[in-house]
Structure formats: structure tokens, C-alpha cells
Amino acid sequence: MPDSLQINSPNGSFHAFVARPSVMPAPAIVVIHEVFGVNADMRQSCEELAAQGYLAVCPDLFWRIEPGLAMTDRTAAELARAAELYAAFNLDTGVIDIAATIDAVRRMPECTGKVGVVGYCLGGLLSYLTTARIGADAAVAYYPGNADLHLDEAEGVESPLIVHLAQEDEYIGKPTQRQLHDALDHRAQVQVYSYPGCGHAFARHRGIAYDAAAAALANGRTADFLASHLKQS
């Protein structure tokens, strides 16, 4: 049954969407939203993770700018607002808020103590940065935009991490993808997967670039990865 959770951070409090599994305590996943906020897509992702046996928590990282935001990629007005939000968003405070969420979730009686992070687009970048700066029991980054601007932090990645890249990503070009491979492929705990013929956000439910086959492949890899690191003692 979905509900919400209040998270207290060093700079204030904010809410997170929660989807609970049928059996608890359970390992937890902090789901890091795209630039469209905690929308129907992110809630569906949380519910899918809950069905896999995870306590899924999606914090509202835009609480300082526009709390409760939930947009789609379907209109010009929403895309324009998304661009404004991306420019206004502070990555450092975002990581601080994610760290506060991880800490709060880890201490919940419904949680086994193991917490992973899964992020998409902006959330993918934040998943990578969170892994590099704080760590997690497992981390997944779907098409992390602008991660190439933070490759100096790759050496800080010590947690298990997988990255999903769309080969035809209009925001993460092939030269950038090569940079990501060069920075991450040699790290034993990191796996980088590429999806031929796919554009950015190929795993976004109902998104304009959704690719059912590629999304199923990426999500299957994510499920296996999370289970291996969060469900095994």
C-alpha cells in the first residue's frame, strides 16, 4: 500500500513516496527521480520494486524549488519547466538529501538495514554521485546525464554499481559514452551496459522514447543485480 514518509535533512524536511512490499522487514531502494519530479512514472517504478520485495522510497528532491512536482515529458510547457528545474537544481544539496533519506530508511523497522539506490537521468547522475561520495549497498544509474562532468569522482566509487546507457542518447553522445566507459570499465565492482538503437530515457514508462524490449532487458539486469547485493546475506 503506497504512503509517504517525512525525511529530516540538515536544511529542512521533505516528503518521500513509499511503496511497501507484502513481507517486511525487507531491503530498501531509494528511487531517485528524473527532472519531472515524483510523478506517475516514479511511483510505478517504486511499486514494481515493492512487488519484487523491496521497501521503495522516492524522496521529493525538488522540495526547495517546487515541492510536490509531478510532470510528464508530453508537453512543450512541461519540457521547458523541466529545463528550468534542471538548471536551478543543486547537485550537492541533492546528494545531502539522498544521504538523509538513506539514513532514515536504514533505521526504519521495516528495513533489514540494506539500502540500494536506483536513479534515472538526473537521478542517474545523483545515483552515481551518491555512490562516489557516500556509498550504498548497491547502486543503479539509468542514462546519467552530465556524469562526464564528474568523472574525477569515479575513483570514489567503491560500492557495486551498474550503469545503463542508450547508444543513441541525444543528451549523452557517443564521445561522452566512451569517456564513461574509460572511467568505469576498469573498476571491478562496476558494470556498464549499452543498449543499441535506444534514445535517452528508454526505460521511462509511457515516455516518448520508451523501448519495451530494452527496458525489459535493463530492468531485468537491475533486478538480478539488486537481488544479489541486497537479498543475499
CA distance linking residue 110 with residue 129, whole number of Å? 26
pLDDT attached to residue 5: 93
* Domains in the chain with CATH codes: 3-231 (3.40.50.1820)
Q: 190 pLDDT band (50/70/90 cuts)?
A: very high
Q: Where are the alpha helices (DSSP H) in the chain?
A: 40-51, 76-88, 91-106, 122-133, 174-184, 212-226
pLDDT attached to residue 10: 81
Q: Residues 166-189: what's their mean pLDDT? A: 95
Q: List pLDDT tens digits, range 14-36.
A: 999 999 999 999 999 999 999 99
Q: List pLDDT tens digits, range 73-127.
A: 999 999 999 999 999 999 999 999 999 999 999 999 999 999 999 999 999 999 9
Instruction: Supply the residues annotated as catalytic.
Output: 121, 169, 200
Instruction: Compute the residue count for the chain.
Output: 233
Residue 177: HSE in the Cβ half-sphere, 13 Å Cα cutoff: 21
pLDDT attached to residue 232: 76
Helix (H, G, I), strand (E, B) or coil at 150: helix
User: Identity (one letter) of the amino acid at 73?
Assistant: D
Q: Given a cut of 90, is residue 2 above it in pLDDT?
A: no
Instruction: Please choose, from the candidates 140, 139, 137, the residue with its C-alpha nearest in 3D space to the C-alpha of residue 165.
Output: 140
Q: 9 pLDDT band (50/70/90 cuts)?
A: confident
pLDDT attached to residue 1: 44
